[in-house]
């Protein structure tokens, strides 16, 4: 076993310093060391995208990075997306458009959608579908996910609903 | 009664924690002192285990113990098959950890128990297993010859043969006469490729052995069945076991199982006295979680020259894989009643031979038997239309049950309670623009457009609401088909609903809240739905077979009705009226003809305090109900696919997909539409993308998501969905079920469309999945053999 490395990573606005094995994946660091279990693991070949997070504001699959590669960087997970007690528009849109069923792809799908909208605030349907290519969903057939991204882009989601409150967003 | 909630497109209650990452999937659970498991799996599809040397693994850092088959041989029992379809059904013993032999690649041969998941996986590499390879049988048409045996000690690959004959059953004429007298005879063989359910959440189990009850958290569709079966298999009193299905990330039938890994995690926890967790990798999931479909369908359909079908003969070879899982053997039988679909066939015979092969075992996958049946008949109806040079819709219409003919007893012996195939088809044609697309198809053919257009049709029905217990008994299934619910009224008047059907994405919490809000006249927000924990929901038969609303939902309504009946007694007492004069509307009990009323919440509090109740009244409004359906429900629909085929590359594109589904009365249109979308995606995936491929040695080649093509967003079109509504008459709500409809209907619609685009070029059939290479090869072969034109 290789010797451990010390890393400092900011995750959802909190700075963490930890000793980690060099082989530890970022997603394992998030889930097992920080308890950030909102980020999920769905495959072992970087195909499904369930583990998608933002690294310095851009989406990455956290199963494809070692934790040591995140040293000195800022990570946002699904748990840090809501701000000031309010869901991000894309979260609200997923709820209103029924863009999730079992919810397992949802954290990654939302993070990828948010990143997509950062890059292209007004994507076409095809641009949305292409932009989500790396995230698999087995429940929805993607139609309502596409609709949610469109709704978030068009700003047609309501600014607040029961979802914020019952999610316990602080 | 108001129906403010039923029919309303409410966004789901379930979403809040899932969109914010506060999820409770099994793999998220960490317990004090918890140990982690890794499985050592056979790389061979068929082999004798000659030795297992775990000494190096045992001394690997962090390893606490290693379990081999020999270590647990006297504790592990044999995993259950609950559906012996014939009295002489053959089945091999199915130990969770293989002891002497392995019969498919991926079978567990040892389990590492370690302080971390990484340490367990490191040590798994160090277990030295010696195998003596045995010949493998992988192909159904080889297996039926009994030359190479998947289990030599069984003496045959044939598990069972099951026959339905309408002549013998008295539901129709003998099919032999129909075939002999056929004016037109269509004979085809179709291959239902092996699929992998591919739920997004890999299977995971956590077992805590430290309490009075062993607590099992598992990514399962069936916590109640799992509790009973694990207890029976491992010889643990059922009362000593609690099973919890927390958030479950999809199932699609793939988590309707009692798995080796679940049993092993219990064994490991008992062995160490510590909580243990096992979470599979995706590669393990694809390799060792049960697969679906995998049938060869040999079909004969007889008809008159006018296109009236006179008989259907179905001969199936069904791939069990290496073992019989929970309902493996019954899956083809679920299809047996659906080959006649929406049609009035006078004669029908079905014969299925269940065969063992050296592959992962098959079992339920979305639709379970019914997609296979629907594919076969909808492909055949197109073939008949081609043979007679008729429009495929016209052939269907000539044979289907007219709306005024319901209820209708089919040649397979089922009574279809309701339906209106004409209405669904008319609506679909309008949305699709059928005539315009047919005209475009002609233009493209005439101009030799390299991109040809085809129209695929699928008019389907399915049997849902599994299932009347008496029917299951007649089919020799071990359990019943009822569902249980409890409605509890808290002192504040808030409601807790306990349901035995365990949701994993279907939205029960929202839909059941809508049902109860209407029935009890309470706000939607005041209803809490609890499920998926055998300590909370003591009775239940869980979620599969599009049964939740049509069976579980009816139990909820029945329990709510019992609450009302109990509360009426107290309402009468409180308002000093006679019980007969009390009526219940909008959440209030009223004395008929007066302004006097009292709310359910007031009664609930009066019962909680119990200071002034009628003599002999038990101070409790809570009510249980168990609903056993008297019949299945029969959703139906018409699906139309416009398919473009690039004849130069074989690339297939879905230009337009329209479906009109009749699922009866809808509680939540948002949820229903979501079910349709997801179902379509999986049915289209069978038609175009997915196949579990093995090499000659029986190794799964499509062993990761790199090779097993679960479609992504760019691979699927925007669907046009609509509904007609013919209420079911077999349940009080009129609901029919929607979970499997899209999957059942879409596969033949797509393949019919692909073939319709290229049939004029001489292509007669293309095996699924219709990948570009297969489509291109079919076109090339047609050219070589001088196909039409």
Give the domain CATH number at B679: 3.30.365.10
SS in 3 state form for B542-590?
Answer: CCCCCCHHHHHHHHHHHHHHHHHHHHHHHHHHHCCCCHHHEEEECCEEE
* B719 → chain A, closest CA residue: A143
CA of B19, closest CA in chain A: separation in Å?
Answer: 6
* Same domain (yes/no): B612, B489: yes
* B196 → chain A, closest CA residue: A138
pLDDT digits over B237-269, tens only? 999 999 999 999 999 999 999 999 999 999 999
Chain mean pLDDT for chain B: 97
Band of the pLDDT at B135, cuts 50, 70, 90? very high
Closest partner residue to A130 (CB to CB) among B61, B673, B714 is B714
Closest partner residue to A82 (CB to CB) among B20, B28, B679 is B20
Residue at which a domain ends, from B597, B627, B657? B627
Instruction: Write b or e for each residue in A30-69: b if 16 or more Cβ atoms lie within 10 A of its Cβ, otherwise e.
Output: bbbbbebbbbbbbbbeebbbbbbbbbeeebbbbbebbbbb
Q: How many residues does chain B have?
A: 789
- CATH domain A5-80 topology: Ubiquitin-like (UB roll) (3.10.20)
Residues on chain A touching B15 (C-beta within 8 angstroms): 94-95, 100, 103, 163
Q: Which of B11, B12, B13, B20 to mutate to test the interface with A (most CBs of A within 10 A)?
A: B20
A54 interface with B at CB cutoff 8 Å: no
Closest partner residue to B250 (CB to CB) among A41, A130, A139 is A139
B302 belongs to a structural domain: no
Angle formed by the axes of helices A143-154 and A89-96, to 10°?
A: 140
pLDDT digits over A15-73, tens only? 999 999 999 999 999 999 999 999 999 999 999 999 999 999 999 999 999 999 999 99
* Same domain (yes/no): B594, B617: yes
Half-sphere exposure of B720 (CA within 13 A, CB side): 17
End-to-end C-alpha distance for chain A, whole angstroms:
41
The yes-or-no verdict on residue A161 having pLDDT over 90 is: no
Q: How many residues does chain A have?
A: 170
CA of A23, closest CA in chain B: separation in Å?
Answer: 10
Domain ranges for chain A, please list them: 5-80, 89-166
CB contact under 8 A, B16 and A167: yes
CA of A159, closest CA in chain B: separation in Å?
Answer: 15
B505 belongs to a structural domain: yes
Are B195 and B690 within 8 A, CB to CB?
yes
Q: How many residue contacts between A and B have a Cβ separation below 8 Å?
A: 197
* A94 → chain B, closest CA residue: B19
B292 belongs to a structural domain: no
Residue at which a domain ends, from B576, B606, B627? B627
CB contact under 8 A, A138 and B20: no
CB contact under 8 A, A44 and B283: yes
pLDDT digits over B43-100, tens only? 999 999 999 999 999 999 999 999 999 999 999 999 999 999 999 999 999 999 999 9
* Same domain (yes/no): B496, B618: yes
A61 interface with B at CB cutoff 8 Å: no
Question: Cα–Cα distance between B182 and B303 in angstroms, integer?
Answer: 6
Residue B630 in tokens: 């008297």
- Nearest by Cα to A48 from B252, B198, B106: B198
Closest partner residue to A140 (CB to CB) among B27, B677, B704 is B677
Band of the pLDDT at B3, cuts 50, 70, 90? low
- Nearest by Cα to B755 from B636, B639, B641, B679: B641
A109 interface with B at CB cutoff 8 Å: no
* Same domain (yes/no): B447, B494: no
* Same domain (yes/no): B653, B786: yes
pLDDT digits over B165-180, tens only? 999 999 999 999 999 9
Q: Which of B8, B21, B526 to mutate to test the interface with A (most CBs of A within 10 A)?
A: B21
B732 belongs to a structural domain: yes
* Same domain (yes/no): B682, B785: yes
* A39 → chain B, closest CA residue: B21
* A170 → chain B, closest CA residue: B20
CA of A106, closest CA in chain B: separation in Å?
Answer: 6
- Nearest by Cα to B621 from B603, B595, B645: B603
Q: What pLDDT does B1 receive?
A: 42
Q: Indicate the DSSP class of residue B525.
A: G
Band of the pLDDT at A92, cuts 50, 70, 90? very high
The yes-or-no verdict on residue A168 having pLDDT over 60 is: no
- Mean pLDDT for the stretch of residues B265-283: 98
pLDDT digits over B704-763, tens only? 999 999 999 999 999 999 999 999 999 999 999 999 999 999 999 999 999 999 999 999
Closest partner residue to B705 (CB to CB) among A40, A45, A101 is A45
Q: Supply φ then ψ for residue B164, to 5 degrees.
A: -125, 130
Domain span at residue B571? 482-627
A102 interface with B at CB cutoff 8 Å: yes
**How many C-beta neighbours within 10 Å does residue A101 have?**
31
- Nearest by Cα to B206 from B325, B434, B30: B30
Question: Cα–Cα distance between B461 and B548 in angstroms, integer?
Answer: 18
CB contact under 8 A, A44 and B281: yes
- Between CA A92 and CA A100, with CA A97 as vertex, the angle to 5 degrees is 85
CB contact under 8 A, B16 and A95: yes
* Same domain (yes/no): B576, B488: yes
**How many C-beta neighbours within 10 Å does residue B765 have?**
14
* Same domain (yes/no): B434, B500: no
A31 interface with B at CB cutoff 8 Å: yes
CA of B286, closest CA in chain A: separation in Å?
Answer: 10
Q: What pLDDT does A3 receive?
A: 85
CB contact under 8 A, A102 and B11: no
Are B44 and B54 within 8 A, CB to CB?
no
* Cα–Cα distance list, B172 to B351, B420, B463 (Å): 16, 23, 20
A157 interface with B at CB cutoff 8 Å: no
Residue at which a domain ends, from B627, B658, B682? B627
A134 interface with B at CB cutoff 8 Å: yes
H/E run at residue B239: none
CA of B319, closest CA in chain A: separation in Å?
Answer: 24
**Sign of the Cα pseudo-torsion (B164, B166, B167, B168, in order):** positive
The DSSP string of B103-159 is: -STT-EEEEEEESSHHHHHHHHTT-EEEEEE------HHHHTTTSS-SSGGGS-SEE
B381 belongs to a structural domain: no
CB contact under 8 A, B713 and A145: yes
Radius of gyration of chain B (CA): 28
Strands B158-165 and B348-356: antiparallel
Band of the pLDDT at B789, cuts 50, 70, 90? very low
Q: What pLDDT does A1 receive?
A: 52
B443 belongs to a structural domain: yes
Are A48 and B199 within 8 A, CB to CB?
no
Closest partner residue to B705 (CB to CB) among A43, A101, A141 is A43
* Same domain (yes/no): B565, B584: yes
- Nearest by Cα to B681 from B775, B750, B754, B766: B750
The yes-or-no verdict on residue B403 having pLDDT over 60 is: yes
Location of structure tokens 């979802």: A163
User: Which percentage of chain B shows pLDDT scores above 70?
Assistant: 99
B402 belongs to a structural domain: no
- Mean pLDDT for the stretch of residues A122-137: 98
CA of A8, closest CA in chain B: separation in Å?
Answer: 22
Question: From 1.10.760.10, 1.10.150.120, 1.10.10.10, 2.70.40.10, which CATH number describes the A89-166 domain?
Answer: 1.10.150.120
Band of the pLDDT at B586, cuts 50, 70, 90? confident
Question: Cα–Cα distance between B136 and B44 in angstroms, integer?
Answer: 9
B136 belongs to a structural domain: no
Residues on chain A touching B17 (C-beta within 8 angstroms): 167
* Same domain (yes/no): B665, B517: no
- 3-class DSSP state for residue B87? coil
CB contact under 8 A, B677 and A161: no
| Counted domains in chain B | 2
Question: Cα–Cα distance between B754 and B775 in angstroms, integer?
Answer: 9
**Sign of the Cα pseudo-torsion (A135, A140, A146, A147, in order):** negative
* Same domain (yes/no): B711, B765: yes
A163 interface with B at CB cutoff 8 Å: yes
């Amino acid at each position: 076993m290789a010797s451990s490395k010390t890393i400092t990573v900011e995750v959802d606005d909190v700075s963490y310093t930890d000793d980690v094995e060099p082989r530890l994946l970022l997603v394992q660091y998030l889930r097992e060391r920080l308890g950030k279990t909102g980020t999920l693991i769905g495959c072992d070949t970087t195909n499904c995208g369930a583990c998608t997070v933002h690294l310095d504001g851009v989406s990455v699959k956290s199963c494809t990075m070692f934790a040591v590669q995140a040293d000195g960087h800022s990570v946002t997970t699904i748990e840090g997306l809501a701000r000031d007690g309010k869901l991000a528009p894309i979260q609200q849109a997923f709820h209103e458009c029924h863009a999730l069923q079992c919810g397992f792809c949802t954290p990654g799908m939302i993070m990828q959608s948010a990143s997509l909208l950062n890059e292209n605030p007004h994507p076409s349907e095809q641009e949305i579908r292409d932009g989500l290519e790396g995230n698999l969903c087995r429940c929805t057939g993607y139609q309502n996910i596409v609709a949610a991204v469109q709704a978030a882009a068009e700003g047609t989601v309501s600014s607040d609903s029961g979802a914020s409150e019952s999610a316990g967003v602080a | 009664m108001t129906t403010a909630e039923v029919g309303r497109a409410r966004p789901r209650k379930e979403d809040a924690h899932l969109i914010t990452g506060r999820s409770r999937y099994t793999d998220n659970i960490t317990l004090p002192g918890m140990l982690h498991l890794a499985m050592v799996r056979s790389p061979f599809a068929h082999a004798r285990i000659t030795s297992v040397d775990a000494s190096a693994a045992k001394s690997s850092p962090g390893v606490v113990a290693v379990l081999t088959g020999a270590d647990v041989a006297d504790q592990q029992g044999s995993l259950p098959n609950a559906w012996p379809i014939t009295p002489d059904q053959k089945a091999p013993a199915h130990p969770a950890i293989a002891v002497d032999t392995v019969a498919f690649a991926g079978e567990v041969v040892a389990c590492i128990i370690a302080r971390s998941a990484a340490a367990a996986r490191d040590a798994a590499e160090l277990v030295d297993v010696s195998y003596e390879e045995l010949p493998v049988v992988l192909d159904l048409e080889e297996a039926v010859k009994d030359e190479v045996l998947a289990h030599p000690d069984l003496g045959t690959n044939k598990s069972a043969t099951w026959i339905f004959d309408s002549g013998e059953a008295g539901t129709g004429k003998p099919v032999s006469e129909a075939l002999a007298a056929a004016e037109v005879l269509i004979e085809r063989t179709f291959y239902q490729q092996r699929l992998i359910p591919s739920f997004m959440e890999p299977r995971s189990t956590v077992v805590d052995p430290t309490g009075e009850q062993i607590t099992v958290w598992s990514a399962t569709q069936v916590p109640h069945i799992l509790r009973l079966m694990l207890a029976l298999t491992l010889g643990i009193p059922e009362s000593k076991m609690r099973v919890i299905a927390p958030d479950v990330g999809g199932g699609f039938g793939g988590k309707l199982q009692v798995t080796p890994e679940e049993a092993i995690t219990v064994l490991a926890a008992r062995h160490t006295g510590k909580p243990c967790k096992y979470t599979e990798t995706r590669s393990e999931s694809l390799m060792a979680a049960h697969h679906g479909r995998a049938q060869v369908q040999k079909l004969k359909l007889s008809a008159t020259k006018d296109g009236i079908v006179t008989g259907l003969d179905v001969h199936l070879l069904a791939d069990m894989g290496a073992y019989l899982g929970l309902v493996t053997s019954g899956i083809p039988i679920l299809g047996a009643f659906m080959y006649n679909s929406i049609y009035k066939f006078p004669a029908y015979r079905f014969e299925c031979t269940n065969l063992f092969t050296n592959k992962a075992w098959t079992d339920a996958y979305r639709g379970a038997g019914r997609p296979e049946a629907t594919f076969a008949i909808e492909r055949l109806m197109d073939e008949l239309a081609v043979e007679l040079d008729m429009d495929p819709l016209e052939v269907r219409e000539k044979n289907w049950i007219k709306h005024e003919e319901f209820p209708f007893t089919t040649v397979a012996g089922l009574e279809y309670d309701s339906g209106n195939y004409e209405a669904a088809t008319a609506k679909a044609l309008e949305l699709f623009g059928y005539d315009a697309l047919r005209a475009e198809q002609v233009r493209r053919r005439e101009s030799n457009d390299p991109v040809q257009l085809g129209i695929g049709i699928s008019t389907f029905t399915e049997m849902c609401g599994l299932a009347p217990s008496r029917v299951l008994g007649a089919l020799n299934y071990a359990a019943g088909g009822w569902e249980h619910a409890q409605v509890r009224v808290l002192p504040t008047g808030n409601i807790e609903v306990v349901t035995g059907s365990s949701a994993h994405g279907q939205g029960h919490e929202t839909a059941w809240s809508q049902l109860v809000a209407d029935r009890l006249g309470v706000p939607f927000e005041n209803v809490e739905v609890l499920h998926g924990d055998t300590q909370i929901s003591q009775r239940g038969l869980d979620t599969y077979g599009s049964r939740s609303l049509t069976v579980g939902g009816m139990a909820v309504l029945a329990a709510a009705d019992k609450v009302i009946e109990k509360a009426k007694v107290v309402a009468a007492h409180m308002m000093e009226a006679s019980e007969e004069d009390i009526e219940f509307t909008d959440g209030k009990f009223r004395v008929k003809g007066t302004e006097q009323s009292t709310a359910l919440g007031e009664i609930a509090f009066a019962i909680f305090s119990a200071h002034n109740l009628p003599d002999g009244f038990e101070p409790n409004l809570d009510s249980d109900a168990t609903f056993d359906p008297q019949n299945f429900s029969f959703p139906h629909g018409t699906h139309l696919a416009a398919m473009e085929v690039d004849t130069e590359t074989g690339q297939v594109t879905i230009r337009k997909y329209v479906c009109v589904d009749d699922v009866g009365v809808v509680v939540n249109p948002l949820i229903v539409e979501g079910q349709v979308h997801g179902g379509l995606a999986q049915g289209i995936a069978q038609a175009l993308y997915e196949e579990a491929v093995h090499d000659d040695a029986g190794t799964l080649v499509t062993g990761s998501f790199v090779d097993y093509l679960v479609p992504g967003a760019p691979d699927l079109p925007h669907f046009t969905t609509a509904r007609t509504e013919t209420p079911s008459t077999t349940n009080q709500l009129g609901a029919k079920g929607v979970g499997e409809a899209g999957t059942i209907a879409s596969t033949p619609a797509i393949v019919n469309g692909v073939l319709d685009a290229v049939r004029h070029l001489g292509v007669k059939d293309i095996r699924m999945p219709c990948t570009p290479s297969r489509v291109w090869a079919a076109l090339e072969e047609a050219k070589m053999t001088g196909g039409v034109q």
